[in-house]
């Protein structure tokens, strides 16, 4: 099967593949930025005491987590025009990615804050720091540290999920691979090139996570 891999086709389509690769990166980047903003807001709302603000945030996180991205994507793709909102597919895709990952980001950040031992809150309160000082100097530094690796993990998920945008005919890496497969009846070449592109991003993000945890370990931590 690999013996008669047609490398020429991959070269021929290289500009298209490269464009797809860049599109995947761009959409993932924007999607993740949106997810971080949404996630931080949703998390802030779920841990504050006002019930009427908490309920919608909790509902958002739960609904997103209990339904597949593809259904969410179709919901927006087939649904937004109904509301008179006409957006280009690529924008719908980015919004769907951000909405989806935002819920997971909210959960990750929340568990980071919950993981700070109660004693830290009590100690920082007893030392007379104000609420903002407590958050800034004591709680957040400890809460953020354990969230970095899971957040990079979520970024990996998002990059892979962005391939679903090909199903609403956004041109990205997976779509170009499908084109090679269908135009030239060369599924092996097309899908191998696609897979390779995603693996490059995957290994780069994985290396980033490894680097981070190597250089940000507290002394004495395993």
Partner 1 sequence: MFWFQVERLLNYWPLLLKGLGMTVSLSLISLLIGGVIGLLFGIIRAGRIRWLSFVVGLYIDLFRGTPFLVQVFICFFILPSVGIELSAFSAGVLALSNLSACFIGEIVASGIKAVPRGQSEAALSSGFRHWQQLRLIILPQALRIVRPSLVGQFILLVKDSSVISAIGIMDLTRSGWMIVQNIPNGLLIFGVVGVGYFIICYPMIFLARRMERRNQSSLL
To which residue do tokens 């994985």 refer? 206
Q: How far apart are CA 28 and CA 168, in angstroms?
A: 16
- Distance in Å, CB of 124 to partner 1, minimum: 23
Q: Which stretch binds partner 1 (CB under 8 A): 27-35, 45-53, 63-71, 137-145?
A: 63-71
Residues in 150-189 that interact with partner 1 by CB under 8 A? 156, 160-164, 166-167, 174, 177-178, 181, 187-188
> Given candidates 79, 123, 127, 183, which one binds partner 1 under the rule CB under 8 A?
79
d(CA 155, CA 160): 9
d(CA 57, CA 37): 13
Name the residue nearer to partner 1 (CB basis): 56 or 81.
81
The sign of the torsion formed by the CA atoms of 195, 196, 197, 201 equals positive
The one among 37, 63, 123, 144 contacting partner 1 by CB under 8 A: 63
Least distance CB 137 / partner 1 (angstroms): 27
Q: What is the size of the binding site for partner 1 (CB under 8 A)?
A: 43
First to last CA, the chain: 44
Among 68, 121, 169, 217, binds partner 1 (CB under 8 A): 68
Q: Between residues 45 and 77, which has the closer beta carbon with respect to partner 1?
A: 77
Cβ pair 143, 112 in contact under 8 A: yes
Give the CA dihedral 45, 48, 50, 54, nearest 10 degrees: 30
Residue 37, token pair as written in the block: 């903003």
Place of tokens 């179709």: 74
Instruction: Give the whole-angstrom CA distance, residue 81 versus residue 63.
Output: 22
Question: Which one, 15 or 68, has the nearer CB to partner 1?
Answer: 68
Site for partner 1 in 182-201 (CB under 8 A): 187-188, 191, 194-195, 198-199
* Residues binding partner 1 (CB under 8 A): 1, 62-63, 65-72, 74-83, 156, 160-164, 166-167, 174, 177-178, 181, 187-188, 191, 194-195, 198-199, 202-203, 206
């Amino acid at each position: 099967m690999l013996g008669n891999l047609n490398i020429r086709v991959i070269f021929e389509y290289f500009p298209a593949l490269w464009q797809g690769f860049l599109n995947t990166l761009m959409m993932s980047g924007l999607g993740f930025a949106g997810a971080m903003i949404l996630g931080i807001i949703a998390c802030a709302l779920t841990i504050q005491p006002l019930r009427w603000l908490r309920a919608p945030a909790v509902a958002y996180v739960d609904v997103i987590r209990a339904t597949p991205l593809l259904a969410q994507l179709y919901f927006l793709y087939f649904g937004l025009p109904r509301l008179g909102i006409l957006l280009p597919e690529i924008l719908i895709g980015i919004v769907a990615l951000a909405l989806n990952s935002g819920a997971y980001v909210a959960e990750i950040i929340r568990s980071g804050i919950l993981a700070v031992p109660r004693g830290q809150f009590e100690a920082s309160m007893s030392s007379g720091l104000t609420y903002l000082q407590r958050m800034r100097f004591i709680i957040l530094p400890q809460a953020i540290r354990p969230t970095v690796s899971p957040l990079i993990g979520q970024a990996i998920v998002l990059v892979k999920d962005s391939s679903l945008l090909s199903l609403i005919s956004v041109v990205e890496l997976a779509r170009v691979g499908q084109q090679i497969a269908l135009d030239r009846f060369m599924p092996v070449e097309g899908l191998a090139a696609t897979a390779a592109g995603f693996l490059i991003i995957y290994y780069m993000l994985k290396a980033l996570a490894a680097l981070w945890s190597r250089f940000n370990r507290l002394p004495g931590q395993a």
